[in-house]
Amino acid sequence: MSRTLWWIAPLALAGMASALSAAQAGQSSPNANGEQKANAGANAQQDRSSRSPDEALFVEKCAMCHRRMGMGTALLARRMDPALAQLEARNDLTVDYVKTVARQGMGNMPPVRRGELSDAQLDRIAAYLAKAKP
């Protein structure tokens, strides 16, 4: 009996490794358009090829907290009208307000230091958020 297990165990291990490899290949295999399959929700929010350089900077530096499912958006929704919690959708933000809140912090948001975000980068993000939205 134990000799049989010595033959079966390596075969079972090889089968599991093969199945795992096939499953991983299936997750990263290209779809019909040759694009990688990915989380559609994340792609819709984070990977838009038509975004402006300022929006791309906002996504890089701020979106982890201030996009739809971010902690900053959720915390703002508790304090104010949930429609106003989505910063990119607002049309009442001014450049000075965005810069002041970013540098000084507000509520649960800590101040953003110049080592994390330069003044020039903050100027671009503030201008992006302050522009009037349709």
Tell me the per-residue pLDDT of 2-44, one tens digit each, with 9 for 90 and over: 555 454 555 454 554 454 444 444 444 444 444 433 333 444 4
The domain tally of the chain equals 1
Residues 88, 85: Cα–Cα separation, whole Å: 9
Q: Does 125 reside within a domain?
A: yes
* Contact between residue 62 and residue 124 where contact means Cβ atoms under 8 Å apart: no
Q: Does 33 reside within a domain?
A: no
* Contact between residue 63 and residue 46 where contact means Cβ atoms under 8 Å apart: yes
Tell me the per-residue pLDDT of 80-98, one tens digit each, with 9 for 90 and over: 999 889 999 999 999 999 9
Q: Does 76 reside within a domain?
A: yes
Parent domain of 64: 50-130
Q: Does 104 reside within a domain?
A: yes
Q: Does 106 reside within a domain?
A: yes
Q: Does 77 reside within a domain?
A: yes
Q: Does 66 reside within a domain?
A: yes
Q: Does 40 reside within a domain?
A: no
Q: What is the CATH number of the domain that holds 102?
A: 1.10.760.10
Tell me the per-residue pLDDT of 113-134, one tens digit each, with 9 for 90 and over: 999 999 999 999 999 999 966 5
